[in-house]
């Protein structure tokens, strides 16, 4: 993989997204607990962004040996292309290194900065991330080493039902704070105000979990067509499902996926690549170029953005309401109710879906 500036930007965006996904208060009690949850989230986001693969993997606490690496520091997490034991090229394929600390003091942070400097110097990592867990202090101003262009400084703090995330970095030698994340409140659990304010955004953020498999499953039953196994359905991408509905079931698919925009708006929201133009009254959404897709850059008014979410949510609402009506009909009109209410699934053919 070419360690380009675009790859760096993607890793930075996926790292910030992974930070926002670790929300259970229990994980903020210990460094090890948070590290495990963060690594899982980071691996998922890197895979979704197309970084993991082609030999690239994230690893936890990879032991460095002095004879092979020139250092004995043990980073908390790395993203790299592992080299063969017989290879001497340990300075290639190193994408990102992470140092995590629970409620770090300034001295703790400086110790981690020294460790990061040594790792970058000896192993030529493209970038590094210092994450201060359960703290509001990223210690951006405390760094004075030679690799300020490569290091990101992140703090994450639970605050009631939200997260406060700060992201700092250096630009042309000057310390900067990312205005899209600084002091941002990220909802940990939904409440009425947050749901109302974020309906369109949360709908599109959840678009990667659009119940397309259930739509196809029910459509196949309705058309008396062969129904794939659940394992097969879970392996199908949205593209596979759209093609199967069109080719095998002869069902027009666009009404089911209006507003999806091939996931590009969802990606822009997930990776904080959106901004508001107050003069035009529009939100601009950007999604980076990938090996298989061109870059995405579109703007929407608030109404247009709301329409995207509504069109995306409508098919699931229809299914949900249909199942509800069928169940109500069964409860009201049938002399006996089988299955017993609240114990078994309404449709035996969907048991375990």
Domain finish residue from 191, 215, 232: 191
Gyration radius (Cα) of the chain, Å? 24
The C-alpha torsion from 292 through 5 and 63 to 65, rounded to 10°, is 120
Instruction: Tell me: do 170 and 307 sit in the same domain.
Output: no
- Asked if residue 234 belongs to a domain, the reply is yes
Reference 35, options 58, 7, 6, 54; nearest CA is 58
Q: Which domain holds residue 45?
A: 5-191
The answer to whether residues 45 and 164 belong to one domain is yes
26 with 167, same domain?
Answer: yes
The Cα 301–Cα 276 span in angstroms is: 10
Q: How many separate helices (H) and strands (E) can be counted in the chain?
A: 12, 11
Shared domain for 15 and 102, answered yes or no, is: yes
What is the longest distance spanned by two Cα atoms in the chain?
79
The pLDDT tens digits along the chain (353 residues) read: 445 677 888 899 899 999 999 999 999 999 999 999 999 999 999 988 888 877 899 998 655 544 444 567 888 999 998 876 666 677 788 999 999 999 999 999 999 999 999 999 989 999 999 999 999 999 999 999 999 999 999 999 998 778 899 999 998 888 887 644 533 444 433 332 322 233 344 344 344 434 567 777 777 877 788 887 767 777 777 778 888 888 888 887 776 666 566 677 877 777 778 888 888 888 888 888 877 778 889 898 888 887 777 776 766 677 777 777 777 776 777 666 655 555 444 444 444 43
Residue 94 lies in a domain: yes
Position 196 in a domain: no
pTM of the model: 0.53
């Amino acid at each position: 993989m070419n360690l380009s500036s675009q790859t760096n930007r993607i890793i930075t965006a996926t790292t910030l997204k992974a930070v926002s996904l670790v929300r259970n208060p229990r994980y903020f009690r210990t460094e090890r607990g948070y590290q495990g949850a963060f690594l899982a989230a980071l691996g998922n986001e890197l895979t979704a962004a197309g970084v993991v693969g082609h030999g690239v993997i994230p690893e936890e606490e990879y032991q460095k040996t002095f004879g092979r690496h020139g250092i004995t520091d043990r980073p908390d997490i790395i993203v790299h292309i592992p080299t063969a034991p017989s290879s001497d090229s340990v300075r290639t394929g190193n994408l990102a290194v992470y140092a995590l600390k629970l409620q770090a003091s300034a001295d703790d942070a400086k110790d981690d900065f020294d460790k990061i400097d040594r790792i970058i110097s000896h192993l030529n990592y493209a970038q590094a991330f210092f994450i201060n867990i359960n703290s509001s202090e990223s210690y951006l101003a405390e760094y004075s080493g030679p690799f300020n262009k490569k290091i990101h400084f992140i703090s994450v703090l639970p605050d009631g039902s939200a997260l406060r995330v700060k992201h700092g970095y250096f630009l042309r030698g000057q310390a900067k704070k990312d205005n899209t994340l600084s002091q941002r409140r990220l909802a940990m659990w939904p409440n009425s105000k947050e749901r109302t304010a974020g309906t369109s955004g949360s709908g599109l953020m959840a678009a990667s979990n659009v119940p397309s498999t259930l739509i196809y499953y029910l459509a196949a039953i309705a058309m008396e067509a062969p129904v794939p196994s659940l394992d097969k359905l879970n392996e199908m991408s949205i593209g596979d499902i759209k093609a199967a509905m069109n080719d095998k079931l002869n069902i027009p698919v666009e009404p089911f996926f209006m507003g999806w925009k091939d996931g590009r708006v969802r990606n822009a929201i997930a990776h904080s690549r959106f901004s508001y133009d107050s003069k035009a009254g529009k939100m601009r959404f950007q999604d980076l170029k990938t090996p298989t897709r061109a870059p995405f850059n579109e703007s929407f008014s608030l109404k247009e953005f709301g329409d995207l979410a509504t069109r995306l949510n409508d098919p699931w609402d229809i299914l949900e309401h249909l199942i509800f009506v069928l169940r109500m009909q069964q409860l009201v009109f049938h002399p006996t109710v089988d299955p017993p209410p609240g114990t078994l699934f309404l449709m035996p053919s969907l048991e375990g879906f």
